[in-house]
Amino acid sequence: MNQYQAFRVELADKVANVVINRPEKINAMNAAFWTEIIDIFKWIDETDDVRVVVLSGAGAHFSSGIDLQLLAQVGGELGKDVGRNAEKLRRKILSLQASFNAVDNCRKPVIAAIQGYCLGGAIDLISACDMRYSTSDAQFSIKEIDMGMAADVGTLQRLPRIIGDGMMRELAFTGRTINGEEARSIGLVNRSYADQQALQDGVQDLARQIAEKSPLAIRGTKEMIRYMRDHRVDDGLEYIATWNAAMLQAADLRVAVTAHMTKQKPDFAD
């Protein structure tokens, strides 16, 4: 595990805690943030000992979104030719998207724990996580519309699959702030907690539960749900059949059945 400028990462009991760690800047996403998050999720993917990830923000807020200085810097790199600027911007956006794709494509479940502000780019980020939990007074806003731009690192692509289409458009067009309780009622978060401590207790408990399951089964399950976001039911059925053709020959099914018979807790290999 490396040291990071924008994050603090800890591993305990097979749960990796990834904390955005710039509380003095409301965890704004600076240049270090965008590159380090790729390294972190590469490490998570390759480390068998990590089975679940909890993503949170240090301090009173989850994150205020992209750092405006970073935006300004990108603007400063543009030249005179509109076409070449367009190519540069297109590749820059694709590269920022790649940072959140690393979260989305992570083989292990990623749980977002949200308190305080969760604005702009932070919505893009939590849309790429598997599940979201918040305090009841957390504040969510698709802030990009107030920057005069359409959100371009994932909110508009992933959020419509999570919340209803009608409310999606209202939030994206107005940038209206909703709290944790309303977020729960539209399916943006699975549960809202009274305060930050209850939130942390809740997600850590959830993370531990998932960490005890067969890691092969969890990966297969995540891959299938991810796949269904974009594919047909018949393709999905063919895919899981091909996947499980190998996986059902693994030890895990036997371990689970034995544990079930002997009424003991199963112990799955990494």
Contacts to its own copies from residues 148-177, by CB under 8 A: 148-152, 154, 156-158, 160-170, 172-175
- Distance of closest approach, residue 9 Cβ to its own copies, in angstroms: 22
Q: Does 237 bind its own copies (CB under 8 A)?
A: yes
CB of 106 to its own copies, least distance (A): 13
The values of phi and psi at residue 136, to 5°, are -75, -20
Concerning whether 212 is annotated as a catalytic residue, the answer is: no
13 carries an active-site annotation: no
Given 121, 154, 180, 220, which residue is catalytic?
121
Q: Is 5 in the site for its own copies (CB under 8 A)?
A: no
Q: What is the CA radius of gyration of the chain?
A: 20
124 tagged catalytic:
yes
**Residue 130 annotated in active site:** no
Q: Which stretch binds its own copies (CB under 8 A): 3-11, 14-22, 27-35, 210-218?
A: 210-218
Check residue 38 for interaction with its own copies (CB under 8 A): no
Active site residue 114: no
Q: 245-264: which residues touch its own copies (CB under 8 A)?
A: 245-257, 260
> Tokens 């809740």 sit at which residue?
202
Q: From the CB of 101, what's the least distance to its own copies, in Å?
A: 8
**Of the ranges 10-18, 19-27, 113-121, 183-191, which one interacts with its own copies (CB under 8 A)?**
183-191
Closest separation between CB of residue 268 and its own copies, Å?
7
Shortest gap between Cβ of 211 and its own copies (angstroms)? Answer: 10
Near its own copies in 46-105, by CB under 8 A: 68, 71, 75, 78, 81-87, 89-90, 93-94, 97, 101, 104
> Which region, judged by CB under 8 A, interacts with its own copies, from 6-14, 17-25, 114-122, 180-188?
180-188
Work out the number of other CB atoms within 10 angstroms of the CB of residue 260: 10
Catalytic residue annotation = 66, 121, 124, 144, 152
